[in-house]
Structure 1
C-alpha cells in the first residue's frame, strides 16, 4: 500500500524521502526526462492557497528551505533541491474570467493549453508559452516570451496583481499600489523569487480571429543569406507577426534529413485578409530557388500551434538548454552557430531565434530584454548513455557565441553551468535591487535562491 505522510493542517498530499512513492513524485516534478539527482526532504502538493500558507509556515517552523514548482518545465530542474521542502502547485489550476474588465484570475498550475480555450470562450486571449504544457506560474515569474509577444511584450507585462505567501507565511496581495517592490520582482525574478505566488490577475486582449503562418526552409549552408533576407523583410512586418528562425534537422526521426534553417512568420489578426496582408513581405523571396520547401499563408489555430510545439518537446525526451541575449545581428549569431550545430550529436537538437522581443518592455518590472537579438539552444536526445556528449555539445555551442553575449533569459538559462547565469539575466541595477529585496522580504533565506552556483545566495 502506498503511504502518504499527512502534514498537520494540510488538506493536500505530502510525501517524505523514504516513502514508497517518493521517487515517482520526485521524478514527476520535472517535466524533462533528464531528472537531476537532487532530493527534497519533503514534497507537498497543496489543494488550495490556504494549504500553501500552511506549507510555508511548516517549512519555516522546521527549518526547511522552500522551492516552488508550477509545471516542472524548468530545463535545469530548478524546483528540485537537495533537502528542504518542494511545494508543488501543479494542482492549483483554476481560471476565473471577468469579461467586463477583460481580466482573468488564474492559479499557477494552469497550462497554456488549458487556459487558451477557457479565455477563448469569452472572446479573449493571453500570450501563453509556445509549448502548451507550460504552466503559467514559472512562466510569468520569469517574464514569459510567448505567442504574440511582438505586440503584447513579455507576458508578465500583462500581470496586474498577484496573490503571494511571504517567507513569514503571510498571504498578501501585490500590485502597483500594494507591496510594489515585491510586485516588481514577481514580474521577471524567475526561480529565485522569494515568495510563493498562488494567483495571478491577467490583463487580456481580444482573441485573434485569424492565425496564419508562412514558412520557408533552406539548407543550413544558406543561413547567413537567409537571415539577411528575412531581417530585411521584418522591417515591413507589423508587430502582430511573430517572426523566428530555427536551425534544426529535417524530419529528425529514424531517418533524419539534412540540417536546415527555417524562417517562420505567424500572423495574429482580426480577420483572414488582415493576416494575409500582414505576411506580404514574406510571400516572395529572392532565394526562393534554393528553398527546400515553402508553405505560404497556412491557416492555424492556437491548438495547432501547440500541437507543432509538442512534436519538438516530447516529455519522453531528455533536454539541456541555454540562452543568450546579444547586440550582434542574427546573420552573425546564427552564422557562427551553424558549424557547431552541424556537429550536434543528436538529430533532435535545435536552435531557436525569435525576432520579436527587443528593447526594454514598458512598465516597472524585473524582466528586461538585455540585447537586440536572442537565441535559445536546446540539446534534445533520448538515450541516457548520451547525456554527457549532448550536454558537452550544448556547452561548446554556447562557448562559440558567448563573446557576443550581453546576458541570458532566466527562464531557460542553464543555471547548472559554472558561471553567473542568474546574475547575467538581469541589468546590474535590477540584480542589486533583487538582492536587496530578498534581504528585506526573506532575511532568513526560507526560499531557495537561484540554482546557479555563483548566484545561490543564502
Structure 2
C-alpha cells in the first residue's frame, strides 16, 4: 500500500510513514508550531463519514491502535501518538440548521466561528469555543468551555445526539435512550474517547440581541487584590455576564508607547436582550471601588461576533509555539493568581499569559449529572507559554512547568481539553470526578475491550 493510495472502500487519502509528503501531513495534524516528535504509522484523511468505519476496520485488521483528530488546538498534540493510525476528520464539515426545532447537525470538522455565523442568520446561538478556528469535534468531546458557558453550561450539555463508529466498525446512534453510556462518555471524555464521532446533533439557544464588553486594566502587582474584589463582585452578576482575568502584556490600545507593561486585565462580556439590558447587567462591576482605580477602562462597548473571535485570535496567534496547562482549585482566585502574577512578571516571552475565567461553566448538578465532563473547583486558571523562536523552546516550556509548580499544590484537578497530558501520568484521571473516572473506565472496557483506540497520553 504505497503513498497516497486508497485501500478498497476508502475514498480519502491514506499515507504511511516514509511515503512522500508524510512528514508534512504529520506536522499539519497539530495547529501548534511546537510539534511533538510522536508519529503514527499511517494517517487516513477521511473524505466523508463513510471512510471512518472502513478506516477502523483497516486498523483492526493490521493491529493498529487508533487516534482521532478534528482540527482544534490540542496544545499537547494529543492526536499524534507513536505508532498506529490517525484518522483525520477535519474535512468533514457538513452543517445543517433547523430553525423550527432549534437544532443543528454538525460534523466534527466544522469550525466554531463558522457555526456561530450560520446560526446568527437564524437568530440562534451555541456556546462555541472562544477561538473561532477550533473545530467542533474535539471541542465538544472535551466538554467545551466557550462563549456564555456560565449561562448555557459547557457546550457538551447541549449535545442531544451523536453518530459514532465503535471499535468494531459499527455505526451507532447514541443519545439518552440509545447507547446512553457511550453518549455520557462522548460528553466530556476528550482525547481518550473510545469511538469516532462523525456527527453531532445540537440543541440551540436564542441569539442575544446585544453583546457588550467592559474592560479594565491594572498594574500586575495589584493582581491579588483585584482578583479577590472582582471575584466578590462577580457573585452579584447574572450568569449571562462572562468575566475573566488575564495576566500578561498590555495590548497596544491600552498602552501606546513601548515598552508595554505587564498588567492584569478584567473583561466582562454581557449577553443580553437589548443594549440597555447589556449595560445594566454590568452595573455592579462598574460601581465597585477597584474599577475606579483602573489605569485603562472601556465600558459597555458594543461587541460583534467577529470581534469576539478576533480578540481570541490576537491572544493566541497562528504560526506560534504554545505550551499550556490548566488547574481547577477551591482556593479563592486572589490566592491562586498571586504566585502566577509573579511568574508572568518573569516570563521569557512577552506573549505568554495566564487566563482565569470566573464561573467558566455552570455548576448546576442536574445539568452535569449526565456527562463525563467534570467541574472540579470554584476557581480555574490556564497558563499559556506563547513564543515564536524555536531556540527558546526549553526556556518557555520550563517557564510553564515552573508556573504550574507554584500553584499545583492548591489544585483540585485539571480540564481535559487543555491540560498538559504529557506532564504526569495522573493528569487524565485528575481531570474527572472520581465516580466519573471509574465509569469512564467501565464504559471503555465494554465498548473497546481490545484497546483499539488509544487512551489518554
Distance change (3 Å), C-alpha of 1:277 and 1:254: closer
Is the 8 Å Cα contact of residues 4 and 13 (structure 2) preserved in structure 1? yes
Contact 2:165 2:195 in 1 (8 A): yes
1:425 is aligned to 431
1:367 to 364, 373, 398: 373
Q: Aligned match of 2:342 in 339, 342, 355?
A: 339
> Equivalences for 1:29-428 in 2 at 5 Å?
29-251=29-251, 255-288=258-291, 290-356=293-359, 357=361, 359=363, 361=365, 362=367, 363-428=369-434
Query: Which residue in 2 is equivalent to 1:441?
Result: 447
Distance of 2:30 and 2:239 partners within structure 1: 34
Residue-by-residue CA offset, 1:132-155 (whole Å, 9 max, x unaligned): 111110010010000000110100
Determine if contact 1:353/1:375 at 8 Å carries over to the other structure: yes
Deviation at 1:254, TM superposition (A): 11
Is the 1:247–1:350 contact (alpha carbons within 8 Å) kept by the matching residues of 2?
Answer: yes
Query: Where does the alignment leave 5 or more consecutive residues of structure 2 unmatched?
Result: none
User: How much has 1:418 moved relative to structure 2?
Assistant: 2.5
Give how far 1:358 is off.
5.2
- Helix, strand or coil: the match of 2:325? strand
Single out whichever of 221-230 and 173-182 deviates more from structure 2. 221-230
Which 5+ residue runs of structure 1 have no aligned equivalent? Answer: 452-458
1:363-396 deviation per Cα after TM superposition (whole angstroms, max 9, x unaligned): 4110110011111110001111111111111111
Give me the TM-score of the superposition, normalised by structure 1. Answer: 0.96
Q: Kindly indicate whether the alpha-carbon contact (under 8 Å) linking 1:249 and 1:256 is maintained by their aligned counterparts in 2.
A: no
Matched residue of 1:49: which SS? Answer: coil
> Please, which moves more after superposition, 116-125 or 170-179?
116-125
Deviation at 1:24? 1.2
What secondary structure does 1:283 align onto?
Answer: helix
- Secondary structure, aligned partner of 1:287: helix
1:266 aligned counterpart, secondary structure: strand
SS of the equivalent of 1:233 reads helix
- Report deviation, 1:419: 3.9
Runs (4+) off by over 4 Å: 252-256
State whether residues 142 and 190 of structure 2, in contact with CA within 8 Å, keep that contact through their aligned partners in structure 1: yes
The CA distance in 2 between the partners of 1:123 and 1:376, in whole Å, is 32
SS at match of 1:314: coil
In the TM superposition, what is the alpha-carbon distance from 1:224 to its structure 2 partner? 1.6
Alpha-carbon distance between aligned partners in 2 of 1:278 and 1:436, rounded to the nearest angstrom: 44
User: Could you tell me how far apart the structure 2 residues matched to 1:297 and 1:202 are?
Assistant: 31
**Superposition CA RMSD, Å:** 1.5
Aligned residues: 450
Deviation at 1:82, TM superposition (A): 1.1
Q: Aligned pair in 2 of structure 1 residues 289, 202: CA closer, same or farther (>3 Å)?
A: closer
